Amino acid sequence: MKKYQLILIIVFGTVMALWIIGRATNGLQYYSIPTKSNEPAYKTGSHIFSSNLITPKRFDFICYKMTDPDFGKQIWFHRVCGMPGDTIEIREGDLFVNGESQDQHFNLKKLYLIPRELIASLDFEEGEAIPLDGTDSVLVPLETIRQQDLIQHARRYAENSVYPGTEKIYGHPWTGQNFGPYIVPANNYFVLGDNRNFSQDSRFTGPVNKERSMGVVL
């Protein structure tokens, strides 16, 4: 056997051993993204690695265990927007942490109403642009930083239906757009999806206990 072949075998064996150990201990995990809940940061079909060797910080993305009533046990991932003891409030769709506005720091997706004539030249995925009957407006998700030129001609869509699960968990008729103030309990995280109008997150499913965390997205 030639020397370079031996080196390749050793390298490959080492990588495989580290991968197996990482998978077994959650030191290194691999996932594919099945939903739009964290667009535009992570699009559907994206691939990510996570590690439990890193302690989550505010605004990190984490993977965590979730039991879905329809699909059973799954791994979900969202952005940590509240650490233990933080006061979380969402006012008209904008996030405040400990009284300070935070959304301006991130390129998020939020729903806006824009005139129909602006839609013709734009490239939206099927089902993303929803015409509103009896109006000259279309409901579309826009990126809050990258699409400022469109947002200047739009107005924020206010959807304030009370989700029964939210009231059951928190004891208040809070909505996805108007939530809190809520103090994150000890040993818990409050997570949100970057695609704020299309994300099942802590607003609707409750805070994430640290024991359910599988790791920080790398």
Q: What is the pLDDT of residues 20-47, one digit of tens each?
A: 544 555 578 999 999 999 999 999 999 9
In this prediction, residues 110-117 reach a mean pLDDT of: 87
pLDDT winner (highest mean) among 6-15, 26-35, 62-71, 197-206: 197-206
**Tell me: the pLDDT tens digits for 162-216?**
888 899 999 999 999 999 999 999 999 999 999 999 999 999 999 999 999 999 9
The dihedrals phi and psi of 8, each to the nearest 5 degrees, come to -60, -40
What's residue 15's pLDDT?
Answer: 43
Enter the tokens of residue 150. 């469109």
Does residue 71 surpass a pLDDT of 80?
A: no
Contact 109, 196 (CB under 8 A): yes
What's residue 9's pLDDT?
Answer: 53
Q: How much is the mean pLDDT over the chain? A: 86
Residue ranges of alpha helices (H) inside 29-163 are 148-151
Ranges of each domain in the chain? 1-31
Does residue 4 surpass a pLDDT of 90?
A: no
Contact 215, 50 (CB under 8 A): yes
The dihedrals phi and psi of 212, each to the nearest 5 degrees, come to -90, -10
Q: CA of 117: how far to CAs of 167, 176, 208, in Å? A: 39, 29, 43
